[in-house]
Amino acid sequence: MYYSHGFAINWSDRTGVVPPEDVDVIMVAPKGSGTSLRRMFLEGRGLNCSYAVYQDATGKAKDRALAFGIGIGAGYLFETTFQREATSDLTGERGSLMGAIEGLLEAQYNVLRKHGHSPSEAFNETVEELTQSLGPLFGAKGMDWMYANCSTTAQRGALDWAPRFREAITPVMEQLYDSVVRGVEAQISIDSNSKPDYRDGLNKELEAMRNMEMWQAGATVRQLRPENEAE
């Protein structure tokens, strides 16, 4: 049995997924969205993946997991367990990968707008510079390299304020991790996805996000990028 996430097995008491004892149970978990995995595969470059063996009935489970990883074009493979993958993934999705970053961006944008900055200026200083300039820098060579290639005022301010954000956010991250480990987040996901009208409700939530001033400003700003001007 092949899994791309540790959720079903790790919270088997909630999902009811209990594999038979005579089969291999393996996982290769891409560290990114399915859209990114497919795009990078077509570009000839891989997305990093974790792999794990939960049950080795044949003696070849690890080899099969690695073969799956190679087959989907993994950038590199690192070993984990179903438990560690499930808990770290749910924490990341709710934290720095999606939930926390959305909350941070909204907070900064709203403060700038409250103090008279235009939607364009607020969006550029909050999102556009992050995604188009700074993110690629620390993605390529690390946060220290990004700092080294920014202005001295940016360096000093970031170094001074990073610890304040860390101290403010750490208690929330501890609460989040605890909620994941105790299965609360898993149960919320199970309950939500089990509702017959879940997709309709989700679409309404996503539409509300899309219609926020910040993301409407973003749509306009993206159209003004040089590569999009001819479209």
- Write out the catalytic residue numbers: 5
Q: Which of left, alpha, beta for 22 (phi over 0: left; psi -120 to 50: alpha)?
A: alpha
* Cβ 77 vs Cβ 47: under 8 Å: no
| Residue at 11: amino acid letter | W
CA distance 27 to 68: 9
Query: Could you give the angle at which helices 184-194 and 198-210 cross, rounded to 10 degrees?
Result: 110
Taking the CB of residue 47, how many other CB atoms lie within 10 A of it?
20
Would you state the structure tokens that stand for residue 98, as one six-digit string? 């999606």
* Cβ 122 vs Cβ 217: under 8 Å: yes
Would you state the structure tokens that stand for residue 107, as one six-digit string? 């907070």
* Cβ 105 vs Cβ 129: under 8 Å: no
